[in-house]
Amino acid sequence: MALIVQKFGGTSVANRDRLFNVARIVANTRNEGNDVVVVVSAQGDTTDDLLQKAAEITHNPSQREMDMLLSTGEQISIALLTMALGEIGCPAISLTGWQAGFHTDRTHTKARIRRIEAERISNELAKNRVVVVAGFQGINRQDDITTLGRGGSDTSAVAIAAALHADLCQIFTDVDGVYTADPRVVKKARKLDVITFDEMLELASLGAQVLNNRSVELAKKYGVNLEVCSSMNNVPGTMVKEVVDVEGMLIKGVAKDVNVAVISILGVPDVPGMSFKVFSLMAQRNINVDIILQSSGDDGYKDLIFTVPLDEMEVARKVLEENISRFGGSKVEVQDDVAKVSVVGAGMQSHPGVASTMFEALYESNINIHMISTSEIKISVLIDKKEADKAVNAIHDAFLA
């Protein structure tokens, strides 16, 4: 007998038929003699709809109240799925994030899990029940509800799998596994049988939303056996593992991220300490800075240009404008019509020429590159947003067709 954590995303639980489909998958797994913990997301577009409802009231909501609101979506799913399980004769109980013992830090809307007190889950499993847990949510030290950031149910699932030492964590979604690119954008994308944690972490961080990047980080840290598979087709999915034989496949995937904005601070004095002053302001606000460019000093001044997540652009602009006298820039400009396109593959460490193949593909499609960044296993370029899908296809053709 094994302990299996199964997570189902929003599309997989979107309506009555899909809920019963999920209930059958779960019941079959239990009937094969396994203990099953299920993690579910909010149905369909519920989370987006809740965000929209809040926006109708205020553009500056309390983050605590946002979490109170957003957490309701998952609570609907756990109750409905548990009822569906009951209907097909599978004993089950639903638990909210706090009932399931998810303790987080205090950062509302993007909290991090501190620890899981899993006694309640274990007790319910011992009663021979399937335990259906609300993903994406937890509780902080003030007993306030927190949420884990968009796509956070993946993280909930992997965290439970780690805490319970589960034999397998399956992320069921609306595609058959991890592909060489988003199959909705690239028709020729291929499903991968296996991918390394490091490659998956890069792909997820660079915009492949099929897995949330925190979930991959946790799976790597705790050695969770992770599989991405379809809730609609009963076919083998993609295993995410520590090491795989990379022979033969130089590049594992192409990713696109449109949640990106460029911030330019013009006319910053070219003296020591300016980068520190600017980026410590970003760090204090928990804003993730990604690609950084610095123009060479001209008459003792330089421009600092960097990317931030699009949804943090306005906060970043505000804090920089408020503090501009501290680092002496003349102007802060923002740009939101950009996208980041990346290639990922552990194989590039030992193969030169990946960058030139990528740049050639972009050149042949007449796409201009604004910024470039590289690490051992990825190359990213920043381009105009309207060219992003064309770029992903051109790069995919160059490496993976």
Q: Among residues 39 and 90, whose Cβ is nearest to Mg ion? A: 39
CB of 165 to ligand ADP, least distance (A): 24
Instruction: Pick one of ligand ADP, Mg ion, ligand ASP, none as the site partner of residue 73 (Cβ within 5 to 8 A by kind).
Output: ligand ASP
Instruction: Pick one of Mg ion, ligand ADP, ligand ASP, none as the site partner of residue 175 (Cβ within 5 to 8 A by kind).
Output: ligand ADP
Stretch that binds ligand ASP, among 97-105, 110-118, 147-155, 198-206 (CB under 6 A): 147-155
Q: Is 10 in the site for ligand ASP (CB under 6 A)?
A: yes
Strand pairing of 253-257 and 238-241? unpaired
Applying CB under 5 A, among 151, 177, 237, 345 the residue interacting with Mg ion is 151
CB of 152 to ligand ASP, least distance (A): 5
The answer to whether 24 touches 232, Cβ cutoff 8 Å, is: no
Stretch that binds ligand ASP, among 16-24, 146-154, 172-180, 386-394 (CB under 6 A): 146-154
- Residue by residue, DSSP assigns 64-86 as HHHHHHHHHHHHHHHHHHHHHHH
Q: Among residues 14 and 268, whose Cβ is nearest to ligand ASP? A: 14
Instruction: Pick one of Mg ion, ligand ADP, ligand ASP, none as the site partner of residue 152 (Cβ within 5 to 8 A by kind).
Output: ligand ASP
Rounded Cα–Cα distance for residues 293 and 304 (Å): 6
CB crowding 45-62: b at 16 or more within 10 Å, else e: ebbeebeeeeeeeeeeee
The answer to whether 231 touches 6, Cβ cutoff 8 Å, is: no
CB of 132 to ligand ASP, least distance (A): 15
The answer to whether 41 touches 136, Cβ cutoff 8 Å, is: yes
Binding residues for Mg ion restricted to 83-112, rule: CB under 5 A: none
Applying CB under 6 A, among 151, 207, 329, 345 the residue interacting with ligand ASP is 151
CB of 46 to ligand ASP, least distance (A): 7
The answer to whether 149 touches 214, Cβ cutoff 8 Å, is: yes
Rounded Cα–Cα distance for residues 363 and 369 (Å): 9
Applying CB under 6 A, among 8, 26, 73, 226 the residue interacting with ligand ASP is 73
Tokens coding 146: 């927190």
Q: Which residues bind ligand ADP (CB under 6 A)?
A: 9-12, 41, 151, 173-175, 178-179, 181-184, 208-210, 253
Q: For residue 253, with 0-12 CB atoms within 10 Å meaning exposed, 13-18 middle and 19 or more buried, which class applies?
A: buried
Q: Is 135 in the site for ligand ASP (CB under 6 A)?
A: yes
Q: For residue 386, with 0-12 CB atoms within 10 Å meaning exposed, 13-18 middle and 19 or more buried, which class applies?
A: exposed
Instruction: Pick one of Mg ion, ligand ADP, ligand ASP, none as the site partner of residue 181 (Cβ within 5 to 8 A by kind).
Output: ligand ADP
At 30, which helix (H) or strand (E)? helix 16-31
Q: Is 207 in the site for Mg ion (CB under 5 A)?
A: no
Q: Among residues 231 and 380, whose Cβ is nearest to ligand ASP? A: 231
Q: Among residues 144 and 389, whose Cβ is nearest to ligand ADP? A: 389
Per-residue three-class SS string for 117-185: CCHHHHHHHHCCCEEEEECCEEECCCCCEEECCCCCHHHHHHHHHHHCCCCEEEEEECCCCCECCCCCC
Stretch that binds ligand ASP, among 40-48, 180-188, 193-201, 346-354 (CB under 6 A): 40-48
Q: Among residues 173 and 196, whose Cβ is nearest to ligand ASP? A: 173
The answer to whether 5 touches 170, Cβ cutoff 8 Å, is: yes
Q: What angle do CA 135, 141, 143 make, to 5 degrees?
A: 65
CB of 212 to ligand ASP, least distance (A): 7
How far is CA 56 from its chain centroid? 26
Q: Among residues 135 and 345, whose Cβ is nearest to ligand ASP? A: 135
> Could you give the string, one character per residue 76-115, with x where binding to ligand ASP holds by CB under 6 A and - elsewhere?
----------------------------------------
Applying CB under 6 A, among 138, 152, 237, 253 the residue interacting with ligand ASP is 152
Binding residues for ligand ASP restricted to 46-65, rule: CB under 6 A: 47
CB of 147 to ligand ASP, least distance (A): 8
Tokens coding 305: 């240009």
Number of chain residues interacting with Mg ion (CB under 5 A)? 2
The answer to whether 261 touches 335, Cβ cutoff 8 Å, is: yes
Q: Report, in angstroms and rounded to the nearest whole number, the Rg of the chain calculated over CA atoms.
A: 22
